[in-house]
Amino acid sequence: MEPETTIRYSTVSSQDDDHLVKLMKLDDLIAAHEIARTRRWGATWTTVDALLAEVDPASPKFLLPALRNAAGDTQVESLRCHLWYRPRSSTYGRATIIDVELAQFRALPTLSPAKTTTALELLVATFPLTAID
């Protein structure tokens, strides 16, 4: 019987060097997805085709880390990130989570604080509000 594997993680706080909003292009998102699938990380699309069918290729994709994790491969650091994007089928934005290799995350372009504020205001404005009953 194999030993039980413990999934280790820690939160990314606002004081951390990696607490940054990053900008992804579609190619970056596909690369992150392929790494996550290869390493059997859980937070990703089922296939590249599913990703391409859902994500608008022309719209910006914003990435913000939430957790540092070592799920499935303790030799490679990764971040579980919030990903905001526009789907092909809607004018409203959508949010999901995706696991991104730390080295890839750090190589992505960082939004300046002013652009981060503007981007987040736009994201909030495009999400429809719903009542919680």
- In this predicted structure, the answer to whether residue 89 has a pLDDT above a threshold of 60 is yes
What is the CA 117 to chain-centroid distance, rounded?
18
Average pLDDT in the chain: 81
Q: Give the pLDDT confidence score for residue 104 in this predicted structure.
A: 94
Q: Which residue has the higher pLDDT, 98 or 66?
A: 98
Do β-strands 61-69 and 22-24 pair in parallel, antiparallel, or remain unpaired?
A: antiparallel
Note whether 65 and 57 are within 8 A (CB). Answer: no
Most confident of 7-16, 29-38, 105-114, 121-130: 29-38
- Please state, in angstroms and rounded to a whole number, the distance separating the CA atoms of residues 74 and 26: 27
- Residue 83 tokens read as 């990903």
